[in-house]
Structure 1
Amino acid sequence: MSRTRSVASSVLGINRRTVLAATGAAAVSAGVGYALRPTESQAATTAETRVVAQSRKAPAAPLAPYTKGTTLAAVAAPRTSTGYRRLGEGPGWKRVVRGELAAAKSGRAARRTALAAFVQLTDLHLIDSQHPMRLEYLRSTDRHAWRPHEALTVQGAVSLVERVNALRGAPVTGSPLHFAMTTGDNTDNNARTELDWFLTIMSGGRITPGSGDPRHYEGVQNSGLTQYWQPDSTVRDADKQAGFPHLAGFLAAATREVRSPGLNLPWYSTVGNHDAMPLGCYGHGDSWLAEYAVGGRKLMALPAADAKKLQNAIKGGKDPQGKAFRDMLKAHTRSMRAVTPDERRAPYTPADYLRAHLDPAHRGLGPVGHGYSSANLAAGTQYYAFRISDDVVGISLDTTDPGGHYEGSIGTAQLKWLDKQLRDNKDGHVIVFSHHTSKTMTNTSHADPARPTERRHNGQEVVALLGSHRNVLAWVNGHIHRNDITPHAAPDGRSFWEISTASHVDFPQLARIIEVVDNKDGTVSLFTTLVESAAPHRTDFADLSQTGLAALYRELSFNAPGASTTLGGDPADRNTELVLKKG
């Protein structure tokens, strides 16, 4: 598989059409989505980025700040104390002012001007739960290696889209929300089924969240194996012994057609390791694994000792090409269950990923390619820059390592490209997006197959580069499935905030609104406000509708055995005002 980590050498021309006007311009405009591309001839045209659905314009912004529909007003919380815990509405999370990088000056609320407002979605992990090449059997050594709610990722993600569509604007400034950015792991297993579901959820359309035999489910949840929740069966599996319910008809409902309205905002995409590689950790190239992915056999159980050995190899990055994984599967062929083959489960390449984003069928409200362009396709890259407003530029990085392993890094060509973007935009503000965090960019030992001699760079090198430029406001990312906000300060006063947001597959299942304001006193504030999906906090086990399943998705994730209870982060990592000096 060919991948080139460079872009055309011509100077990137910045299109100065604004996405945002401080006076409150329409949230969806013909100027939305002009990526900063290598050549003008490869840029999307105005016609390609036009508004395509009048009914999906963002609601009018309020005249004053608001809390409704955000975690400032209410948050899902347990209303029972033992066993399987039912959820209800709990108190909201207050906003915390953080002044580690600059003092918050009095009177700034009356002076501030909105510069940008957008939504970050991350780690959706849309899961084809019947896919043969999944690792459910690691649950024999790690309880959280398989989640009881994995069949409901599509319903949960659609409900999150519904929440974003219902927002009245930016909660603090009342500014229109101007775009959404996904920061990777949009899919879970680099499967074409999952990629199609993701693009349809974001842009609108109908999805049947199943694969294989369309007449019935063929995964671990009707296997009869007691280490998995068997919702339709009365068998006393391990999860039912912990209080999980018996829900007749659950699997039929989970694989029933779902409709997504699509985002009523333009949206951009950033690639994550689960998007780029099978299981998020194995490099492409093994033909046997590719055939296994679409074939008619599925391993559903593995002894704990073998599961532990496989899990350790994955965590240690000891098998980046999946050779030992392939040999393990071959050794357990006789233990596999027969399933219906399905070519739609095939792994996709980076070029496939780009083509799918560029497909007019998935345009939604644009922009064409959702940040990616024909230039990316020609160069084999998955990083780009785009104009957010007259004063703010966004930069989306590709921190995945095609050499294998789930932790990240970037090559020298991309690092030099990033430095150039920062220098070319020194008179404005910059927000950087990536999947990996600075602390999880530690994978520098596996070479990019397309550039075997190119050096890989870790997160601290990226922090040092960003800190050497005065125009960087924030580095927004995901990967760790936890809310975490970190200040980065350089000795000469240059500084930026690193904003990591929790996933939408593990509780508390959140997305984040980010607002950028100029306080007109030498400082800039970044307001972060978390939101849940639109699903009700309370569930009804008799309600297996699309909405009912989205609510159940949240409650099951809260109760998942082995699930972390700290992914919501501390109060200072949730709803915040992050102050820093104006560059």
Structure 2
Amino acid sequence: MATHEGERVACTAADDLGWSELTVVPDVVTPAADGEVLARIVHVSDTHICDAESTARLEYLDRLSDPDSLYRLRLGEVGTYRPQEILTVQVLASLVDAINAHADELDAVIVTGDLIDNAQANEKSWCAEVLDGGTVEPWSGDPQVSQWVGSREGHPWDERYWHPDGPPGAAAEDIPTARFGYPRIPGLVEAARRAVISPGLNVPWFGVPGNHDALLQGTVVPDPDLRTLAVGDRRIVGLPAGRSPLLTLEGVAPIGPARYVHEDASPWIAATPDPRRRLLSDEELSRPWIHDIGQVRFVAMDTVNHSGGWQGSLGSAQFQWLRQVLSESEGRYVVVLSHHPSWCLTNPHTHDEPRHLAAEVVHLLLDYPCVVAWLSGHVHAHASLWHGTDSSGFWEITTASLIDWPQQARRLEILRSDGRVGFRSTLLDHDAPVAWSADDLGDYRALASISRVLSANDYHDREGGVRGWREGRDDDRNTIWWTPDPYA
């Protein structure tokens, strides 16, 4: 195991370029609690299994949020490129190992959305193979050479991207290396494409839809042009000449409509086409569902706005379905599941039925005392929020992502004791070594270890997201949340 109970992974003091290594430090131990255990799960969110070689990606937009960008304050975090995006399969496989170490103590694993990154069929296949068990070959396009933006051989040199193999010839170092201390790791790009053999989870798992599962870059509704782009032989590498970067607001809009900002005049490079990158159809996306574990009922909502935009909402039909399910759940403890937390249900855009936003959904849940918790993801951070009064209500619990720091899941023990229902939380690191090494790039755990240290050194937000709010408060991490037992 990377860590044990009472430990956590933390950043060491930064060097002159701001780069930090990782170490293990003491952590708060989750308090013990007596009572009847009702269910034991692992909550995972935002695995973002990524085909980083896809022609349907928009990495070139991410530089607009670089520390030296004139547009940084206006655009905020763009999030279309991460140096560790080539290692998502390895991180998930490493988490599978960590979960399986506790399999005898678990009833289920629940993944609250953004299982994949760009709504592609091959990403969905890779994710399922890792979770179910099997062999994944995490590459697309050219079978011999990676066409990822950080590949020295397969993509034109661009100093804005990290190149683990270093620059070609006499070229200067890329910006992540020269300014932010990123290391050279020769052979990493090639190693990231090698087959990963996952043992699969030894407990049942259940997925909840997220915006990246259904929408390109989690934002844009697939259309025929984008479906052609995804499987085709052109990769867009920049904005059209003369176009203001402020146009990117249309492509990364939190509220629909949203669109890709490329045009016929956009600069592009040749790429190897691949039909496996096809975009998913609506019929291939997961739907709302119900699953009972003893007296605990898990109710999964689809909060994706399928009309576009990366924030969420509930359609009227699903809102009425949720009301019906809750009315039929008397005598059970209901845990509601969604990708978006309540405060991100802000997207009213619609092409068909009316949408219901945060206040309406929270009020509906509060109308039914059987609701004791709401689990979500989306914001890539640990968080918790109480809804209700001293006598009734529910906890909203959000778990961080596997693509960004701190790359953790959450073990949750649901128990009943002395007129209360409790949620005993213990954070779970994936099973990669804390100290990374380039000595064995054939081991997916070694690659997952590299991914974690890369996520800890995100140069877009080293002091805020990386070493701040993404980790959450102590009360968001190893703790117990109590709510009044509606049946006491």
TM-score normalised over the length of structure 2: 0.89
What corresponds to 2:116 in structure 1?
A: 187
CA distance in structure 2 between the aligned counterparts of 1:150 and 1:386, rounded to whole angstroms: 32
- Alignment partner of 2:403 out of 505, 508, 514: 505
CA contact (8 A) 2:209 2:304 kept: yes
SS state of the match for residue 57, structure 2? coil
Question: What are the superposed Cα offsets for residues 88-118 of structure 1, whole Å, 9 maximum, x if unpaired?
Answer: 212223437xxxxxxxxxxx944x1111110
What corresponds to 2:378 in structure 1?
A: 479
The alpha carbon displacement at 1:392 in A equals: 1.1
CA distance in structure 2 between the aligned counterparts of 1:320 and 1:198, rounded to whole angstroms: 28
Counterpart amino acid of 2:404? D
The alpha carbon displacement at 1:303 in A equals: 8.1
What corresponds to 2:74 in structure 1?
A: none
The alpha carbon displacement at 1:350 in A equals: 2.4
Which 5+ residue runs of structure 1 have no aligned equivalent?
A: 1-67, 97-107, 170-175, 355-381
CA distance in structure 2 between the aligned counterparts of 1:194 and 1:314, rounded to whole angstroms: 21
- Alignment partner of 1:280 out of 215, 218, 227: 218
What corresponds to 2:129 in structure 1?
A: 200
The alpha carbon displacement at 1:317 in A equals: 4.7
Provide closer, same or farther for how the CA distance between residues 571 and 109 of structure 1 changes in structure 2, counting only shifts above 3 A: closer
What corresponds to 1:573 in structure 2?
A: 476
Moved over 3 A (4+): 68-72, 93-96, 301-308, 314-319
CA distance in structure 2 between the aligned counterparts of 1:212 and 1:289, rounded to whole angstroms: 17
CA contact (8 A) 1:481 1:567 kept: yes
Counterpart amino acid of 2:91? G
* 2:8 is the counterpart of 1:79: no
CA distance in structure 2 between the aligned counterparts of 1:141 and 1:268, rounded to whole angstroms: 36
CA distance in structure 1 between the aligned counterparts of 2:314 and 2:479, rounded to whole angstroms: 30
CA distance in structure 2 between the aligned counterparts of 1:214 and 1:88, rounded to whole angstroms: 37
* 2:439 is the counterpart of 1:542: yes
The alpha carbon displacement at 1:151 in A equals: 0.5
Counterpart amino acid of 2:456? F
CA contact (8 A) 2:117 2:212 kept: yes
CA distance in structure 2 between the aligned counterparts of 1:345 and 1:307, rounded to whole angstroms: 30
What corresponds to 2:264 in structure 1?
A: 330
Counterpart amino acid of 1:514? L
Question: What are the superposed Cα offsets for residues 36-56 of structure 1, whole Å, 9 maximum, x if unpaired?
Answer: xxxxxxxxxxxxxxxxxxxxx
What corresponds to 2:279 in structure 1?
A: 347
The alpha carbon displacement at 1:71 in A equals: 6.4
Counterpart amino acid of 1:474? A
CA contact (8 A) 1:140 1:304 kept: no
Provide closer, same or farther for how the CA distance between residues 317 and 571 of structure 1 changes in structure 2, counting only shifts above 3 A: closer
CA contact (8 A) 1:140 1:303 kept: no
- Alignment partner of 2:92 out of 157, 176, 183: 157
Provide closer, same or farther for how the CA distance between residues 522 and 446 of structure 1 changes in structure 2, counting only shifts above 3 A: same
The alpha carbon displacement at 1:353 in A equals: 3.2
The alpha carbon displacement at 1:490 in A equals: 4.6
What corresponds to 1:121 in structure 2?
A: 44
Counterpart amino acid of 2:95? L
* 2:322 is the counterpart of 1:384: no
What corresponds to 1:524 in structure 2?
A: 421
- Tell me whether 292-301 or 194-203 shows the greater mean CA deviation: 292-301
CA distance in structure 2 between the aligned counterparts of 1:321 and 1:227, rounded to whole angstroms: 25
Which structure has more relative contact order (CA 8 Å, sep 6+)? It is 1
The alpha carbon displacement at 1:386 in A equals: 1.3
The alpha carbon displacement at 1:289 in A equals: 1.3
SS state of the match for residue 304, structure 2? coil
- Tell me whether 539-548 or 468-477 shows the greater mean CA deviation: 539-548
Provide closer, same or farther for how the CA distance between residues 257 and 109 of structure 1 changes in structure 2, counting only shifts above 3 A: closer
- Alignment partner of 1:290 out of 202, 227, 236: 227
SS state of the match for residue 264, structure 2? helix
CA distance in structure 2 between the aligned counterparts of 1:307 and 1:347, rounded to whole angstroms: 28
- Alignment partner of 2:237 out of 300, 303, 323: 300
Q: How does 1:171-570 map to 2 (within 5 A)?
A: 176-222=105-151, 223-234=156-167, 235-241=172-178, 242-284=180-222, 286-302=223-239, 306=243, 308-317=245-254, 320=257, 322=259, 325=260, 328-332=262-266, 335-354=267-286, 382-389=287-294, 391-447=295-351, 452=352, 454-490=353-389, 493-519=391-417, 521-545=418-442, 546-563=444-461, 564-565=465-466, 566-570=469-473
CA contact (8 A) 1:141 1:308 kept: yes
SS state of the match for residue 48, structure 2? coil
Provide closer, same or farther for how the CA distance between residues 569 and 547 of structure 1 changes in structure 2, counting only shifts above 3 A: same
CA contact (8 A) 1:69 1:531 kept: no
Provide closer, same or farther for how the CA distance between residues 123 and 71 of structure 1 changes in structure 2, counting only shifts above 3 A: farther
Provide closer, same or farther for how the CA distance between residues 248 and 92 of structure 1 changes in structure 2, counting only shifts above 3 A: same
The alpha carbon displacement at 1:534 in A equals: 0.3
Percentage of pairs with the same residue: 34
Counterpart amino acid of 1:483? H
CA distance in structure 1 between the aligned counterparts of 2:56 and 2:123, rounded to whole angstroms: 13
The alpha carbon displacement at 1:348 in A equals: 0.4
The alpha carbon displacement at 1:549 in A equals: 0.6
SS state of the match for residue 446, structure 1? coil
CA distance in structure 1 between the aligned counterparts of 2:49 and 2:333, rounded to whole angstroms: 33
CA distance in structure 2 between the aligned counterparts of 1:70 and 1:243, rounded to whole angstroms: 26
Provide closer, same or farther for how the CA distance between residues 508 and 427 of structure 1 changes in structure 2, counting only shifts above 3 A: same
Counterpart amino acid of 2:45? T
CA distance in structure 2 between the aligned counterparts of 1:318 and 1:455, rounded to whole angstroms: 14
CA contact (8 A) 2:256 2:349 kept: no
CA distance in structure 2 between the aligned counterparts of 1:124 and 1:230, rounded to whole angstroms: 23
TM-score normalised over the length of structure 1: 0.75
SS state of the match for residue 259, structure 1? strand
CA distance in structure 1 between the aligned counterparts of 2:399 and 2:57, rounded to whole angstroms: 25
Question: What are the superposed Cα offsets for residues 511-537 of structure 1, whole Å, 9 maximum, x if unpaired?
Answer: 011111110x21111111110100010
CA distance in structure 2 between the aligned counterparts of 1:305 and 1:229, rounded to whole angstroms: 27
CA contact (8 A) 1:190 1:347 kept: yes
SS state of the match for residue 292, structure 1? helix
Provide closer, same or farther for how the CA distance between residues 473 and 306 of structure 1 changes in structure 2, counting only shifts above 3 A: farther
CA distance in structure 2 between the aligned counterparts of 1:71 and 1:574, rounded to whole angstroms: 15
CA distance in structure 1 between the aligned counterparts of 2:361 and 2:332, rounded to whole angstroms: 20
What do you get for the CA RMSD once the two structures are aligned? 2.0
Q: Count the aligned residue pairs.
A: 457
SS state of the match for residue 297, structure 2? strand
The alpha carbon displacement at 1:387 in A equals: 1.0
CA contact (8 A) 1:410 1:457 kept: yes
